[in-house]
Amino acid sequence: MRILATDGIDKSAVEKFTADGFEVVEKFYEPAELGEALKDFDVVIVRSATKLKDHAILDAAKGSNLKLIIRAGVGLDNIDVPYAKACGFEVRNTPRAAQNPVAELALGHMLSCARHINISGYTMRNGQWEKKAYSKGMELKGKTLGIVGFGRIGQRLGEIAKGIGMTVVAYDIFHVEGIEEKMGIKYVEMDELLAMSDVISVHAPAADGGALINKENIAKMKDGVIIVNTSRGANVDEAALLEALNSGKVKAAGLDVFMTESISNPELVNHPAVSATPHIGSGTKEAQKMIGTELVEIVEEFAKR
């Protein structure tokens, strides 16, 4: 089989595919060229940079050698899954690898926001010793964490947060049977979560109905709340968040994802109460190897059919 990895994959996966007798091509194609290129491959592996939402791209590859599309990561919002399946393509992802690194990054942003780590380090590098300004941080122990989206990543963050003494509640449109008893984490309705949480961390797919964290929902939150988003940029209304940061309604925000994969909102990114990272949620050596392992498992299983 021929495998196209448009956004790169871990070296260990390439080596295993090669040992299996598969040909791996690592090459990024612009949208205008991608559909035609896909015809020559049995499998395409994409990450965030490659978008397979344009029907023209999928139509061009329909009826060709291409049979399997894999998203090397959790979210599938850069792929029109129903249309891809209608074209005869199987669509898979690698859900296991991202749960721990993304949860750890979310915790890192929570700590950075609570203890002013980002801004105090920045001012020190600018020659300022602002001890008094940043000596009134907030401890996370004893605070309530509201997790919006309680899948693998949300559950892992819940485990970690409970370990440092936080009370954890969760909102999700799907309830995993037995999870409340197993984890000791209660499902609540969205409005209840917004009202009771000191910290809110978003781990949901991009919502069709618009941003989950919007002006209306921010108004329902506690004054001085911390908001963390390591899911999808579309889940947070950036203008509403910036307004709330400036007014003090939101104490701080930890953001790994944005509306665009670039600094298109410098006022938000450079805000002194924002801890920002450039979409590095699953960016650990361990996660990339795990993603590679999952990719190999999926392709090997597919090849045996």
Residues designated catalytic = 232, 261, 279
- CA 93, CA 72: separation in Å to the nearest integer? 6
Residue 149: how many other CB atoms lie within 10 Å? 23
Side-chain-side CA neighbours of 262 within 13 Å: the count stands at 2
Element (H, E) at 3: strand 2-5
Interacting residues of 216 by C-beta distance below 8 A, sequence separation 6+: none
Residue 66: how many other CB atoms lie within 10 Å? 25
Task: Tell the residue number behind the tokens 């990339």, with chain if given.
Answer: 288
Side by side, the strands of the sheet bearing 225-229 are 186-187, 167-171, 144-148, 199-202, 225-229, 250-255, 274-276
The residue among 9, 10, 46 whose CA lies nearest residue 31 is 46
Element (H, E) at 37: helix 31-38
Asked whether 256 and 230 are in contact (CB, 8 A), the reply is: yes
- C-alpha dihedral sign at 243, 249, 254, 255: negative
Residue 278: how many other CB atoms lie within 10 Å? 13
